[in-house]
Structure 1
Amino acid sequence: MSDDFLFADDVEEETLPERASWKVLIVDDEPEIHAVTKLALNDFIFQDRDIEFISAHSGEDAKRVLREHNDIAVILLDVVMETDDAGLRVAKFIRDEINNYFTRIILRTGQPGQAPELDVILNYDINDYKSKTELTSQKLFTSVISALRSYRDIINLENSRRGLESILTASSNLFNLRTLDGFMNGLVQQLTSLIGGAAQEVSYISAPSASSGLDELADYVLYKGKCGDDKVSVNSVLNSVNDEQLQACRSALANKSVVIQDDFLVAYCHSNHQRGSLLLLTGLPRPLDDYDRNLIELFASNVQVAFEQVQLTSEVEANQKEILEQVSKALVCRLSGGRHIQRVTLLCELLAQKAGLSQDDIDVLSLAVRLHDIGSLVVPVNLLSKSGELAPEEMDLVRQHVSEDIAVIKDAEHPVIKTAAMLAREQYECWDGSGYPKSLKQEQIHIFSRILAIVDEYDSLRNEKCKPKYRPLPEVVQYFQSAKGSLFDPQLVDLLLSDIEHFEDIISKNPDSH
């Protein structure tokens, strides 16, 4: 016989997934009550969840536990502890102080005379009342099962309420977005709220019609990243998803439904315009259930309409911008060899950035600046191109034409045109109130107008073709130093002078053509 010992290979123990539990709080000043209760419910399982017992031995101890745990399903509550009504005080604390209307309260007492059942049921928001002498193991089991069913149903209703509230909020937010970037960013944020975490990628696939096959799904808008850092990109559908995702997309499109897999989902988005679109989420943060499916179906029903609104808004704004550009070009052809407006626009954008304006404000200012000289379209060309000072009657003619044109556009609804009208009105107002036509002063003058006043004057002084006003740079710096706080906003002047090289660079790169 061999002296060697033979050992079987170690078998790695299978790790079982951790079972979810119902939290049950036992509140009683008698230790044996805790022990007996735990023993009676030792093998308790309800809906594949066991019980996690939490013990408290006084009313104050129970309040502490309840502050720390907001997910206690059932509380087995003694009445008489450190005081004759300690349990009743805990019941009021639960409902009235921490506003917990979900936890089911089973009041059990060994001294029913201290808390008559009728009075307690009428005056306290409890869910069951038991005498300890009648509460056998079977009755305890039955009471706890009944309480857990009630708790489960209440939580499901609350989750549904919150889910529907999230859907309404999400839909409202999406309808307020105006750009594709904003739409996809909003989509990511709202889906993160709905599914309790961020997917790794969110994609939006648009089809020409609801009856389209997958091969006809043309637009695939991909938004990567959990925090909205990555921009939207548009790809070909068939080159952007794997075989499993393609099959799920076909199924969702054919059945107009939601398809949920282990780590991704595809949701069909309904439309009122015979279009069919899909919402694809990959890298899900957790497994999704039927409740999540219902929320996503509700959410997806509004996504397509919001997406179409974003597309329509973008098209309208693009058309409006093109019209404004054409008007701007007409002005460019009449002013300073075509470069004055271009320079002033670039200078305004740079000064606005330094002043901390938002990109949306800078975009409006940029377009409005190109239109603020719209009165020049009706001013005779010989006056616009005349060198030297205008005669008084010539200046009156210029002002008359400009005033008439301001009157035409001042009631426009488009924000760019309204801003252009404001610039035309306020460009001659001064920081100290000495300007015209309304003698506005300081912050009464819109910051757009304050920026334009500085930039317009700076361009005139640095334009070599404008012989009467041209000044070398040192004299221009000295001029603005002396004029800040009187003609111009002193803070904006400081921003200009602190980075004069960048402003000079714009002047030098955009000279007049004649």
Structure 2
Amino acid sequence: MSDELLFLDESEEDVVTGRSTWKVLIVDDEPEVHAVTKLALSDFVFQEKGIEFISAYTGAEAKDIFLEHPDIAIVLLDVVMETDDAGLQVADFIRNDANNHFTRIILRTGQPGQAPEKDVIINYDINDYKSKTELTAQKLFTVVISTLRSYRDIMVIEENRQGLEKIIEASADLFSIHSLESFIDGIIQQLSSLLGGTQDAAYITSAVAGPRPIDNQSSSDFYVFTGKGDFADDEGRPLESVLRGDQLESCRRALREREIVYEDEYLVAYCNSKTMRGSLLYLSGLPRKLTKTDKHLLEIFSQNVQIAFDNVLLTKDIEDTQREIVERLGQALEKQMGGGKHIQRMALICELLGREYGLEKEELDILKLAVPLHDVGKLRIPESILLKPGKLNEEEQAIVRNHAEFGYELLKDSRRPIIKTAALLARDHHEYWDGNGYPRGLKGEEIHLYCRITSLADVFDALHARRCYKDAWSLDKVLDTIRQQRGRQFDPRLVDILLANRDKLEAIAFAYPDDLPQEEDV
């Protein structure tokens, strides 16, 4: 029986099932080299992982395979194939075109003179250079082991770098729920890497907050705040619906004893809190027995990560309090001027216009919070004028116009972004795109975008709703009137956005009706 028959039933790509593997790409135009390499490493195991062989017989084929498998650990690369430098071209492609500096490249050549080792080492980013004649089975085993160790260490460093990068990105806006999620996710990723890799992780808290907030639940219950692996889609779910049996009991024990519970394949770390019952970090799929260093890292995490979470919740509570105060003040002002839900509708219309215009989320949040105070200057206007059912005379109109400056003077000295924006809105939301507005006669983009948005939203809702001095206009009549003022009173681009969102405007009006008494009830 010939040597060829020994490998007749072997597939081009061996698949190792039942466990994770190291991917090794064999690039050589001689089928015998593939067969011998696979035979020599057939029982290879490193860190409880075998080898998944992938074969390529030309440089072009190797490039395509590499794009499909960016997680290849080692490339055993022949130099001379369809061209004398095909292998060197593959090495250059991996490093420069595919921008992969993690995969380890071992150059194997049967013709050392074609590509002298010194020149290749200097000019190409390869990790080892071997002549095929010197690579016995034992030497091949040794070089693969040492190369996999290098690849493993490089990938650990890369995972740590990615984890730190997430933390750094989140630190710019640490005290927001979204950034906290990134912050904790980054720490979980880094900690998982330091432990040698874990399959699944979850951060579980009793806080009624998160990417999917949980309403109307007891604060004594626990929910998944963020997760990876099997827990990636479990944000907002109760602990009891995510973990069961021994895992759930370990979580209860960690909470009860306020400690880290270590099991063979998972652990639960209790994270102490001064403001609530604390949180849990659940890690499963531990690849090895944890060392003292590993446990020390876990203790540091559990002692400190909850501090960041507590700070975020405190900041969020302060922001919610500020928002509620502004909204209640705006609603009280609206009630004094006749009641209704003008403020709520205006905030949503402003958000719609701003989002379609291209404002960032942070800008939209400030605008929505400031809008309720746009008419705060009317507190200085007598109710007899504000609630007058008939047309105002010239003197009364002049008094009403003063509300713009009154509101600005009331708010202008604040250093808070929301109040500063409210001062701007109070003064300039009656400016016209063509310069015929008041109080300063600004025109075009001299008027701040926030004020242009507020002006359009204010007029739209005032026309569409019933007032003490007028009946509600139909939506068609309101939109026709605003269309006529395009480029005159209003920013043309904002008018176009308003006209293109008729259905959403109707939905806002339907969701927040005024519920005012009819004329005969007054």
Q: TM-score normalized by structure 1?
A: 0.69
The correspondence for 1:435, drawn from 434, 437, 456, is 437
Alpha-carbon distance in structure 2 between the residues aligned to 1:505 and 1:77: 68
Moved more, 25-34 or 502-511: 502-511
2:459 to 453, 457, 461: 453
Q: Matched residues in 2 for 1:429 and 1:355: separation?
A: 18
Amino acid at match of 2:118: L
The change in CA–CA distance for 1:401 and 1:198 in structure 2 (over 3 A counts) is: farther
1:250 matched to 2:253? The reply is yes
Residues 72 and 440 of structure 1: CA distance in aligned 2, closer, same or farther (over 3 Å)? same
Runs of 5+ consecutive residues of structure 2 not aligned to the other structure: 1-15, 208-217
Indicate if the aligned counterparts of 1:25 and 1:53 stay in contact, CA closer than 8 A.
yes
2:215 is aligned to none
Q: Which one-letter code corresponds to 2:409 in the other structure?
A: A
How do 1:151-170 and structure 2 match up within 5 A?
151-169=151-169
> Superposed, which structure 2 residues align to 1:18-417 within 5 Å?
18-169=18-169, 171-172=170-171, 175-178=174-177, 203-205=204-206, 219-223=220-224, 244=246, 245-251=248-254, 254=257, 256-257=259-260, 259=262, 266-269=268-271, 277-279=278-280, 287-289=285-287, 303-324=305-326, 327-328=329-330, 331=333, 334-336=336-338, 339=339, 342-348=340-346, 368=370, 370-380=372-382, 383-384=385-386, 392=394, 395-400=397-402, 403-414=405-416, 416-417=418-419
CA deviation after TM superposition for structure 1 residue 204, in Å: 0.3
Query: CA 1:39–1:305 in structure 2 vs 1: closer, same or farther (change >3 Å)?
Result: same
What's the TM-score, normalizing by structure 2? 0.68
Cα contact 1:73–1:103 (8 A) shared by 2:
yes
- Letter of the 1:251 counterpart: A
- Partner secondary structure for residue 129 of structure 1: strand
Tell me how far apart the structure 1 counterparts of residues 78 and 472 of structure 2 sit (CA, whole Å).
Answer: 91
- 8 Å CA contact retained: 2:375, 2:403: no
Query: Could you tell me which residue of structure 1 aligns to residue 7 of structure 2?
Result: none
Whether contact under 8 Å (1:266, 1:278) holds in the other structure is: no
Task: Kindly provide the amino acid, as one letter, of the partner of residue 69 in structure 2.
Answer: H
Q: How far does residue 126 in structure 1 lie from its aligned partner after superposition?
A: 2.9
| Partner Cα distance (2:172, 2:425) in 1 | 32
Q: 1:158 to 1:119 in 2, by over 3 A?
A: same
Q: Secondary structure at the match of 1:509?
A: coil
Q: Is the Cα–Cα contact under 8 Å of residues 77 and 87 in structure 2 kept in the other structure?
A: yes
Report the Cα distance in structure 1 between the residues aligned to 2:317 and 2:111, rounded to whole angstroms.
76
After superposition, what is the alpha-carbon deviation per residue over 1:330-381, rounded to whole angstroms, capped at 9, x for unaligned? 6457434xx2xx3432553575587686999898777655533323333445
Residue 452 of structure 1: CA displacement?
0.9
Cα-Cα RMSD: 5.1
Question: Structure 1 residues 504, 430: closer, same or farther in 2, change over 3 A?
Answer: farther
- Kindly provide the CA deviation profile for residues 402-458 of structure 1, in whole angstroms up to 9, marking residues without a partner as x: 524422313434455345434433443446553323445677552222111233355
Distance 1:122 1:409 in 2: 68
Whether the 8 Å CA contact 1:21–1:50 is kept in 2: the answer is: yes
Q: Number of residue pairs matched?
A: 468
Give the residue type in structure 2 aligned to 1:203. I
Which stretch has the larger CA shift, 426-435 or 303-312? 426-435
Q: Which residue of 2 aligns with 1:6?
A: none
Q: 5+ unaligned residues in a row in structure 1: which ranges?
A: 1-15, 207-216
Indicate the SS of the match to 2:43.
Answer: coil
User: Following the alignment from structure 1 to structure 2, what is the Cα–Cα distance between the partners of residues 197 and 344?
Assistant: 53
